[in-house]
Chain A
């Protein structure tokens, strides 16, 4: 079946450190891949996406590359800030009929210390 696996948290970093959050997926066909971010007490915000192999999604200094050969979509940021503290979810979109459902990983909590 289709699934997403993320590295376990919490991840604690100092401000300006390099961030990597690993995400691997299992899927039939060619799903679209997403990273969503959830700040405390809020809903999910789309961070970035990639729709085909070798695509790189980027936003607000975050990047992730769709690697079909390793079925991965790792999230990276060169220099994190305290304001990046949140829970990050990797997801794939399974298309059917006229829409698609998102399948999420379990989330990775990031805490950035000043």
Chain B
């Protein structure tokens, strides 16, 4: 069973640019959640996708957007990058409530640095 994978591993961008991060969910999972983890902090929920629809959003501005594809992989897009967007971005997949479980399994993350 393949776990959650994310790409790229590391990324360096400059302020004002746009970035796309990618995530492949674990086999059998239809729900993908994205989290931002600033240095020394716990992860903060950005949004969740269930069967290609956004299913909840945290306290992040609209320049954070996402997609989920028919194979349940997902993208996180961030426009107009700011210095404070520098963080580890984590993707997690789960069965949602279809499988009667809410356990989320995380990928290794993408380290984004904004200069």
Contacts and interface: CB of A to CB of B under 8 A. Distances in A.
Do the two chains belong together in a single complex?
yes
A99 B43 contact: no
A96 to B, nearest CB: 6
A98 B96 contact: yes
Interface residues of A, number: 26
A100 B102 contact: yes
Interface in B5-52: 6, 31, 33, 35, 40-45, 48, 50-51
Contacts, number: 79
B102 A36 contact: no
A98 B98 CA distance: 7
A100 B98 CA distance: 12
Contact of B103 (A34, A45, A98, A103): A34
A103 B59 CA distance: 12
B96 A103 contact: no
Contacts of A95: 97, 102
Contacts of A104: 42-44
A105 B42 contact: yes
A103 B33 CA distance: 12
Contacts of B88: 43
A98 B97 contact: yes
A13 interface: no
A43 B50 contact: no
Interface string A102-114: 1111110000000
Interface of B: 4, 6, 31, 33, 35, 40-45, 48, 50-51, 55-56, 58, 88, 90, 92, 94, 96-98, 102-109
